[in-house]
Structure 1
Amino acid sequence: MKKFLLFAFCILLNLNCFSQIIYEEFDSAKLGESRRLKIQLPRNYDSNIDKKYPIVLVLDADYLFEPVAGNVDYFSYWEDMPESIVVGVMQGDSRYDDCSYDENTFMPGDKGAKFFEFIGLELIPYIDQKYRTAKFIIGVGHDFTANFLNYYLFKDPPLLNGYINLSPDLAPMMEERLIERIPAIPGRIFYYLATGTDDIKGLMESTQDLNNQLTGLKSKSFNYYYDNFDGATHYSLGGRGIPNALEKIFSVYRPISKKEFTEVLLKLDTPISQYLLDKYKVIEDLFGITNNIRVNDFIATATAAEKRNQWESLREIATLAKRQYPDTVLGDYYLGRYYEETGEPKKAMKIFQGAYDKEEVDFITIDKLLDRADKIKADFGY
């Protein structure tokens, strides 16, 4: 019995480490009916009580929710995108009425207009009220629902910050309207469009035509990405498009890579410390997230500052690291390196020695710090 209870406890403990899936029935006054929602909360949502999360809104959640939610969980686990709340709207056969448009204006009409208001005036405010959300929303749709997401670009400001359009079945005049509307949007928009070589012919051709138009748009705030997957069908392209879209939209969020280190940091003429601050300011401005700077990014920028002999940058990076990770050796090591290189070895020695009781980080061990202190002591006879 004791073994069984221990096993059950371990299972429950383990479940808390994984994303939470919640099913809800949402009574919509706009639709005059209830809609079934499927919601995935990030891992450790309940314990990170001060953290806020972007929203990933999934239409056609009957079949799109799992691939989207799985990729969001995977990418956020490796810090390639922020942890996010995934909200799926189950539609089934109602998707055709939900996405219907007026035959004269080609904008949402009748039930389509009601569904448009349900999303913008009921569902998103409800999610914002119930959960800890950041002010960044991505929508995901496929054919009819992909076209429908575009209508939110015509709100002022647009409801969504990011649009993942998988083989959209475009309404008449949509292409012309998008080309006219997008350059007039002042805020930053992320727009992903995908088709496949084995997609439905008419949809593939219209998607390619739209790509040709969007590629030529001149707008600093419009971030556009396109894929035409070789061999992908109308339904299989989702499996390739969803991870590609998330990777591209959240590229600025990712930790500093080896490529970024080599091709950007080591070639900077401006202070490397400012590059680090700017990177996280962009993340805050775009996604409404104020996370601590990653240890990886501290090490990458500090190493680049050493290689470029940017000692004032190294001091700034070390000071910030000491503030954000005071119980680790991270900031002490790089502050000591700063004093070593700027002619104050005695200060460096004391800093290295003073960090003996702190937590080690990556390659920065206590032994490494004490060895540097001993070398300074031997070289200068302190």
Structure 2
Amino acid sequence: MRNSLLLFLFISLGALAQTQYVNVESQILQSKRKIKIQLPRNYAENEDKTYPVILTLDGDYLFEILAGNVDYSSYWEDMPEAIVVGVMHENRRQKDLQYEDVNYYPDEEGALFFEFIGMEVFPYLDENYRTAKFTIALGHDQSANFINYYLMKDNPLFRGFINLSPDFAPPMPDRIADVLSNSKQKIWYYTATGTEDVNSLREDALALDQRLKEIQSEQLLYTFDNFKGANHYSLVERAIPKALESIFSVYRPIDNKEFNEKVITSDLTPYQYLMNKYQTVEDLFGLNQKVRVNDFVAIADAIEKKEAWDDYEDLGKLANQYYPKAMMGSYYKARFYEETGSPKKAMRMYQSAFLLDEIANLDKDTMLDRSEQIKEDFGY
């Protein structure tokens, strides 16, 4: 019985995140190269949905920890669902990541591997999967250095860079600082080291951090972590979730911190803040995200606190657009009528909401109580 239960759990969990092993036939490398691909949950059912791509080099050992974090974070809506890709080096890591000793750019097989990623891996992904335009690269020590060569291109292949204990080529910090200072498009840049990291790598990461902190550019979204007690390898498991959290901070549902520090204090009305938040997600990540129930509730609370009653009318229309069978839209419209001098319309709207599906903190008792209170107050 116990073995059957374990088998059932293994099969069930395996069905949640679909991992594929693919051999890409490379004309550039004149060989087949293995990549791992994790597709989001319910990828097959969401036929019209596209997904950001997060690619890690050193897929031999970084893929599983990255894929697990992406699956977990996207399940709780702290980041969008994403396609995770791990490029395997197997016994070719040093050749794949090598650079020449004069100008310190990818040399020979390293240059071929660089072209393989951009000219063969991504066209393969775009042809076979529903990819969005937003892409992130991740690397560790030498592979962290390598992903920065894509940053040097006029139109970078990646918009996000996750550097874990990077082992930089000599001029790479200067090149990074120069590119990020002058970038015309938004770049998410994350670097991590640890207090027990390899000394030379830690010193380089700390020095680069000081330079990047001085950059005054709205196009750079930069985060740095120096994990106490973490060494060259243990920092990986701490840095990956922090990096994802940093890159997708604007995507997350409105929490207490955002509510108190941004929504309530904003010069925008609550409804305008909500629209701006989701427009930013679409602009930055290319995702047309459905407004979450959590965010409707947060904005309704903000309307109450700021007494921005006119916002309830627009919020009600938006709720009906996304959740037409739920009582949320009718409730918000009723609140608008109630606070703007139309109690009879409010009463009827509460009564109509009674027939719709309960959602979030709204139920039939709430609708009935609101309606009866208006009857009592105005003698209807």
Query: Once the two structures are superposed, what CA deviation does each residue of 1:87-132 show, in whole Å capped at 9, x if it has no partner?
Result: 0011133111111112211111101110110001110111011111
Describe the shift of the 1:73–1:188 C-alpha distance in structure 2 as closer, same or farther (beyond 3 A): same
SS at match of 1:57: strand
Q: Hey, what does 1:58 align to over in structure 2?
A: 56
Q: Hey, what does 2:148 align to over in structure 1?
A: 150
Query: Once the two structures are superposed, what CA deviation does each residue of 1:106-159 show, in whole Å capped at 9, x if it has no partner?
Result: 111101110110001110111011111111011110001000000001112111
Describe the shift of the 1:152–1:360 C-alpha distance in structure 2 as closer, same or farther (beyond 3 A): same
Describe the shift of the 1:67–1:7 C-alpha distance in structure 2 as closer, same or farther (beyond 3 A): closer
CA distance in 1, matches of 2:10, 2:170: 52
Residue 268 (structure 1) shift:
2.6
Aligned residue among 292, 295, 298 for 2:296: 298
Query: Once the two structures are superposed, what CA deviation does each residue of 1:236-269 show, in whole Å capped at 9, x if it has no partner?
Result: 1101110110111110000000111122222233
Q: Hey, what does 1:353 align to over in structure 2?
A: 351
- Kept in 2, the 8 Å contact 1:17–1:44? The answer is no
- Kept in 2, the 8 Å contact 1:57–1:86? The answer is yes
**Are 1:335 and 2:333 an aligned pair?**
yes
Paired AA for residue 73 in structure 2: F
Q: Hey, what does 2:268 align to over in structure 1?
A: 270
SS at match of 2:20: strand
Q: Hey, what does 2:317 align to over in structure 1?
A: 319
CA distance in 2, matches of 1:211, 1:32: 39
Query: Once the two structures are superposed, what CA deviation does each residue of 1:318-366 show, in whole Å capped at 9, x if it has no partner?
Result: 2111111111011111111111111101111111111222111111001
CA distance in 2, matches of 1:325, 1:13: 33
SS at match of 1:105: coil
Q: Hey, what does 2:131 align to over in structure 1?
A: 133
**Are 1:89 and 2:98 an aligned pair?**
no
Paired AA for residue 307 in structure 1: K
Paired AA for residue 87 in structure 1: V
Moved more, 98-107 or 137-146: 98-107
- Kept in 2, the 8 Å contact 1:330–1:364? The answer is yes
- Kept in 2, the 8 Å contact 1:194–1:227? The answer is yes
Q: Hey, what does 2:370 align to over in structure 1?
A: 372
Residue 271 (structure 1) shift:
1.4
**Are 1:45 and 2:43 an aligned pair?**
yes
CA distance in 2, matches of 1:140, 1:291: 25
**Are 1:344 and 2:363 an aligned pair?**
no
**Are 1:215 and 2:205 an aligned pair?**
no
> Alignment length, in residue pairs?
378
Q: Which runs of 5+ in 1 are unaligned?
A: none
CA distance in 2, matches of 1:209, 1:12: 45
**Are 1:117 and 2:150 an aligned pair?**
no
Describe the shift of the 1:366–1:137 C-alpha distance in structure 2 as closer, same or farther (beyond 3 A): same
- Kept in 2, the 8 Å contact 1:152–1:160? The answer is yes
Q: Hey, what does 1:34 align to over in structure 2?
A: 32
Describe the shift of the 1:312–1:162 C-alpha distance in structure 2 as closer, same or farther (beyond 3 A): same
Q: Hey, what does 1:248 align to over in structure 2?
A: 246
**Are 1:74 and 2:72 an aligned pair?**
yes
CA distance in 2, matches of 1:124, 1:296: 35
Residue 12 (structure 1) shift:
10
Describe the shift of the 1:16–1:232 C-alpha distance in structure 2 as closer, same or farther (beyond 3 A): closer
Describe the shift of the 1:70–1:15 C-alpha distance in structure 2 as closer, same or farther (beyond 3 A): closer
CA distance in 2, matches of 1:13, 1:327: 35
Residue 378 (structure 1) shift:
2.0
CA distance in 2, matches of 1:268, 1:138: 30
Q: TM-score scaled to structure 2, two decimals?
A: 0.96
Query: Once the two structures are superposed, what CA deviation does each residue of 1:149-171 show, in whole Å capped at 9, x if it has no partner?
Result: 00001112111010000011101
Residue 16 (structure 1) shift:
7.7
Q: TM-score scaled to structure 1, two decimals?
A: 0.95
Aligned residue among 157, 160, 163 for 1:162: 160
Query: Once the two structures are superposed, what CA deviation does each residue of 1:6-43 show, in whole Å capped at 9, x if it has no partner?
Result: 99998799458511010111111111111111110000
Q: Hey, what does 2:236 align to over in structure 1?
A: 238
CA distance in 2, matches of 1:178, 1:40: 30
SS at match of 1:322: helix
**Are 1:20 and 2:2 an aligned pair?**
no
Moved more, 353-362 or 144-153: 353-362
Q: Which runs of 5+ in 2 are unaligned?
A: none
- Kept in 2, the 8 Å contact 1:166–1:238? The answer is yes
CA distance in 2, matches of 1:287, 1:270: 23
